[in-house]
Amino acid sequence: MNHVNIGIVGLGWVAQVVHIPILDKLPDASVVAVCDTDKARARYVSDKLGIKNVYTDIDKMLKQEQIDAVHVCTRTDSHAPVAIACMEAGKDVLVEKPLARTYDEASRIVQVAKETNRKLMVGMNTRFRPDAMILRSFIEAGELGDIFYTKSGWLQRQTNNKTWKTRKEVAGGGVFIDTGIVILDMSLWMMGYPDIERVSAMAYYHETEHVEDSGVIMLRMVNGATITIEVSWSLNIEDDIFYCNVFGTRGSARLNPLRLNKQLHGNIVNMTPAKLEKPQSLYKRSYENEIRHFIGAVRGLHPIISTGSEALQRMKILEAMYESVKTRSEVSVAKSQ
């Protein structure tokens, strides 16, 4: 396959600002159909882009034979039915994070991907940040030695924006499942996916009623390593904070800004590349790289990164986090993760 025809389901912010503009610039992909239950929004987007195939019914869109793959950009509660319908219709699928509201929903999506032999990717764009990829390659090369501790976070300023993400029945949870799962995914990726033994989490509900708006998590690995994560939608801070600090037996590193330090002959040497992109550019590039990767995978050029099976493992850990909050205790994570 030399060219991929894409259908977009869900035409909210992430579709209009991220997915569609990026796809519009790719030489090997085209958006040939869009779908949203809001008829006015669907028509607005289709008119703006000059896309004649516009739908409010996913089943009707999937009968469009031109479509090779679908980007699922809907609310989390519809990820499972939409992704499953797409794969059963013979389409490869990119689902925005999180994969689903619960482990059981995610498990069903992954099972259908296997049954239909379709490609399933979950949008964990932080893995595709250029600085994150540099750091990961540095770690894989053994430059930092054995990684024993990772401390990561995504702390956002307080806002009055109450969206569907604050409704548990729609989103599945609060900041843990929204930004926390992205930070969890990145932290585990940096450490090479070690098995997790136990999870401890604390959640806060300062600006929300039904889902957590802030939280702290600690994960103990079977190999003795540790991960700590802090996330929030509503801190009284001046600017948002996004970071990932990695500590190894022979060096350390951090993201945003990228810094690489290695121990050589008893001295700490700065190994950071001389030229680094600006934070705004890194964020944009992360989505560009992610979507380019998906298109390449659909074309058969390489295997999928950020698979449904990996996302399913993250959902198992997420459920252990919520159980820890509920019981106010450490929770064991099954080895089947």
User: Residue 336: what pLDDT?
Assistant: 47
CA gap 216, 207 in Å, rounded: 16
User: Residue 162: what pLDDT?
Assistant: 65
CA gap 149, 248 in Å, rounded: 7
pLDDT at 49 over 90: no
CA quadruple 137, 140, 146, 152: dihedral, nearest 10: 40
The CATH number of 127-279+313-332, from 3.90.1150.10, 3.30.360.10, 3.40.50.720, 3.40.50.20, is 3.30.360.10
Q: 141-187, pLDDT tens digit by residue?
A: 999 999 999 999 999 998 766 688 999 999 999 999 999 999 999 99
Mean pLDDT confidence for 43-53: 90
Q: 277-294, pLDDT tens digit by residue?
A: 777 788 889 999 999 999
Mean pLDDT confidence for 319-326: 97
Is the peptide bond preceding residue 98 cis, with omega within 30 degrees of 0? yes
CA gap 193, 37 in Å, rounded: 38
pTM for this entry: 0.94
Q: 243-253, pLDDT tens digit by residue?
A: 999 999 999 99
CB contact at 8 A, 60 and 52: no
The verdict on domain 4-118 having CATH code 3.40.50.720 is yes
Strands (E), 37-126: 54-55, 69-72, 92-96, 120-123
Give the tokens for residue 60. 């009707």
Provide the residue ranges of all domains of the chain, joining segments of one domain with +.
4-118, 127-279+313-332
Q: 306-322, pLDDT tens digit by residue?
A: 999 999 999 999 999 99
Phi first, then psi, for residue 121 (nearest 5°) are -125, 145
Tell me how far CA of residue 130 lies from CA of 38, 117, 242, in angstroms.
35, 30, 15
In what order do the strands lie in the sheet containing 214-221? 267-270, 259-264, 251-255, 241-248, 147-157, 226-235, 214-221, 196-204, 331-332
pLDDT band at 52 (very low <50, low <70, confident <90, very high): confident
User: Residue 335: what pLDDT?
Assistant: 56
CA gap 254, 256 in Å, rounded: 7
CA gap 309, 324 in Å, rounded: 23
CA gap 213, 235 in Å, rounded: 9
CA gap 111, 221 in Å, rounded: 27
Give the tokens for residue 190. 């940096």
